Amino acid sequence: MPLLPHPAWHWLFVGRLSPLVIRQILMGAEPHLPPGVRHVAVIMDGNGRWAQQQGLPRLEGHRRGARSVREVVRAARQLGLSALTLYAFSEQNWERPLEEVQGLMQLLHDYVIDERREILDNGIRLQAIGNISRLPEYVLRPLASLMAESAANQGMVLSLALSYGGRESLADAMQKLAQEVATGTLDPAAIGEDDLTAALKTAGLPQVDLLIRTSGEQRTSNFLLWESTHAQFYATSVLWPDFGKAELLAALGAYHAEPSAQPLGRDADV
C-alpha cells in the first residue's frame, strides 16, 4: 500500500523531539529531515538482550527486531531519506549457533517476501551489500529477484548489509581495482579515492550522514568504514526491538550538520 502522510496528531506521542520537529507539529506539518541528512545507517543491536529481559528465546528478539525494520524503513521513506543502510547480518554472525543463524535467515526470507509490495509500491530500491553468495539459496533467490524488480526505483535506496564486514568489503573493492590494473585498464598511479568508492557495493550512495547504534554500545563494529568517515554517531540505549519511528525522529532531531560535509569520494576538511 502506498505510504500516505500521517495527520499531525500521529506525532504527538513522540518523545524527545527537537525544536524543529515540535515547530513542525505545531504548524500541522509532517516532520522533515534535518538539512543535510540524506543517508542514515543503523547498527541494529540488542535483540538478544530484549528477549532476555522479556524471558523469551533470543529468536523472539530477532522476530521483534524484524518488526522494527519494517517500521523504520516505512518511516525513512515517508521522511524522504535518499538512503537507509541496515546492518542485518555481519560476517561474524555466521559463528552464532546454527539454530539462531537459521532463524535469522528465515526472517530475512520472510521480510523479502512480505515486504515486496511495500517496497515496489513506494519506489524503494532494494540492494544487498556484503558477501551474499554465502546466503542459502532459499533466501538468495527471492532477495535477488526483488533487487532486480526494484532496480529502477528512484525513491530511496534500502541497503541490507548481509554477511557484511567493512574491512572485507574494502578488500573486495581493492581486488576489483587490482584486476583492472592487471588487465591494463587502470593505471595504478592514477588510483584515487573515487576509484575505491566506485568499486564498493555502496557506489552511488551519498556518504553516511548519521550512523545510529542501538542498545547502548558505542562501537562501529566494522560497519561502513569508508562510507561513514564523516558521519555523526548517535548511540541510544533503546534496544533494537523497541526502536521505531519515534526513536528515528529522536536520532534525526539530534543531528547537527557538519559544515564541511562533502559528497562521498571528495576531499573533506576534518
C-beta of 152: minimal distance to ligand FPP in Å? 22
Verify binding: residue 107, ligand FPP, rule CB under 6 A. yes
Verify binding: residue 126, ligand FPP, rule CB under 6 A. no
Verify binding: residue 44, ligand FPP, rule CB under 6 A. yes
Q: How many residues does the chain have?
A: 270
Pure H helices in 13-134 = 19-26, 47-54, 58-79, 98-114, 116-121
Looking at 86-94, 127-135, 204-212, 252-260, which segment touches ligand FPP (CB under 6 A)? Answer: 86-94
C-beta of 72: minimal distance to ligand FPP in Å? 10
Tell me how many residues contact ligand FPP (CB under 6 A).
Answer: 21
* Contact predicate 205/83, CB 8 Å: yes
Verify binding: residue 79, ligand FPP, rule CB under 6 A. no
Which residue in the block uniquely carries the three cell numbers 555502496?
A: 202
C-beta of 174: minimal distance to ligand FPP in Å? 27
* Contact predicate 120/149, CB 8 Å: yes
Strand order in the sheet with 232-235: 124-129, 156-164, 83-90, 39-43, 210-213, 232-235
Which CB atom, from 21 or from 45, has the smaller least distance to ligand FPP?
Answer: 45
Set of cell numbers at residue 269: 576538511
Which residue in the block uniquely carries the three cell numbers 546454527?
A: 98
Identified binder of ligand FPP from the candidate list 93, 106, 131, 153, rule CB under 6 A: 93
Residues in 158-177 at the binding interface with ligand FPP, rule: CB under 6 A = 160
As to burial, measured by CB atoms within 10 angstroms (0-12 exposed, 13-18 middle, 19+ buried), residue 70 is: middle
Which CB atom, from 44 or from 205, has the smaller least distance to ligand FPP?
Answer: 44
Verify binding: residue 88, ligand FPP, rule CB under 6 A. yes
DSSP assignment, residue 195? H
Q: Cα 268 vs. chain centroid, distance in angstroms? A: 23
The Cα–Cα gap between 252 and 127 comes to 23
C-beta of 233: minimal distance to ligand FPP in Å? 17
Identified binder of ligand FPP from the candidate list 45, 91, 227, 247, rule CB under 6 A: 45
C-beta of 14: minimal distance to ligand FPP in Å? 22
The Cα–Cα gap between 129 and 166 comes to 10
User: Looking at the annotation, which residues are catalytic?
Assistant: 45, 93
Contact residues toward ligand FPP (CB under 6 A) are 44-49, 62, 65-66, 69, 86, 88-89, 93, 104, 107-108, 111, 160, 215, 240
